[in-house]
Amino acid sequence: MKKIPLHRLILWVFMGGLALVISYFVLFPQVWYCQWIDFSGFKKVNQHLYMSAKTPQRHLDKTNESIKEARQRITRLWGVPQGNAVVILCESTEEYYQYCHSSEGAGCSIGTPWGTSFIILNLDGLNVDVIAHEMCHDELFTRLGWWTTTRQIPQWFNEGLALMVDERFVSTTDSIQRYQAYKEACLSVSRGGQMVLDLDEISSMKGFFDGNETHVILAYMTAGTEVSRWLTNAERKQVPLLISRIKAGESFEDIYRRLDKD
């Protein structure tokens, strides 16, 4: 067999790597924009906060306050926060679309395979609920990494857990009352249980978000009901335990069920 010269092999590997990087950014342009936020014209408030150049200065105090309070909620659920996402505060829907690649919702979070993460907020997202919700996604991502989160964590768990720090739908923090409130909300959205979503149906992003408004709200309420039910059994201290077991190689399914019974 003819030997391939080393310099050619290196060139091929380099070209292959380059093609991979380019196609990643073509598929996910929002990651490119977030990654290069320093060159965007956004104001750098600190290493973890960027604001649109159009954002009035008075929003800064509110943002800082909301971030602080959101971190307290994360601490209650997770213990000391490990998430370190860069927050990007947008002023217009165009900016939000550029960084989030969606015009839906008030906030979104993006985690990259190389470990950096971003929380993008539009003006409606400038409040504790939205920031805590996105921080909870980021906390999960930071602790498990992109690969494990993508492969192992069902979307209903990711969203349901985020609802535990997001009080837009249910505001009580008492675990039993919270579960009952989500159950009632679920019944009301499903018109007394006429529509039911199976957890399997909402375990992928597509299954969770593809559908009309009623489907998406019912998906959130179903996720909120399931995770709040689980937390009444498993207690909040079990969230870090669940994560550490997954990191140790156990499957989400197994450990989630086992903690449910303990």
Contacts to Zn ion from residues 158-187, by CB under 5 A: 159, 162
Handedness of CA 93, 120, 32, 37 (dihedral sign): positive
**Residue least distant from Zn ion (Cβ):** 162
Total residues interacting with Zn ion, rule: CB under 5 A? 2
State the minimum distance, in angstroms, from the CB of residue 111 to Zn ion.
12
Binding segment toward Zn ion, per CB under 5 A, in 115-123, 144-152, 153-161, 195-203: 153-161
State the minimum distance, in angstroms, from the CB of residue 110 to Zn ion.
12
Binding segment toward Zn ion, per CB under 5 A, in 85-93, 112-120, 122-130, 157-165: 157-165
Distance CA(245)–CA(262), nearest Å, equals: 15
Binding segment toward Zn ion, per CB under 5 A, in 9-17, 151-159, 195-203, 218-226: 151-159
- % helix, strand, coil for the chain, step of 5: 65, 10, 30
Work out whether 202 is an interface residue with Zn ion (CB under 5 A). Answer: no
Question: In this complex, which beta carbon is closest to Zn ion, that of residue 132 or of residue 162?
Answer: 162
Work out whether 119 is an interface residue with Zn ion (CB under 5 A). Answer: no
Distance CA(157)–CA(220), nearest Å, equals: 10
Task: Judge whether 138 and 153 are in contact, CB under 8 Å.
Answer: no
Question: In this complex, which beta carbon is closest to Zn ion, that of residue 40 or of residue 148?
Answer: 148
- How remote is the C-alpha of 144 from its chain's centroid? 12
DSSP-derived secondary structure letter, 123: G
SS3 track for 153-211 = CCHHHHHHHHHCCCCCCCCCCCHHHHHHHHHHHHHHHCCCCCCCCCHHHHCCHHHHHCC
State the minimum distance, in angstroms, from the CB of residue 82 to Zn ion.
18
Contact residues for Zn ion, defined by CB under 5 A: 159, 162
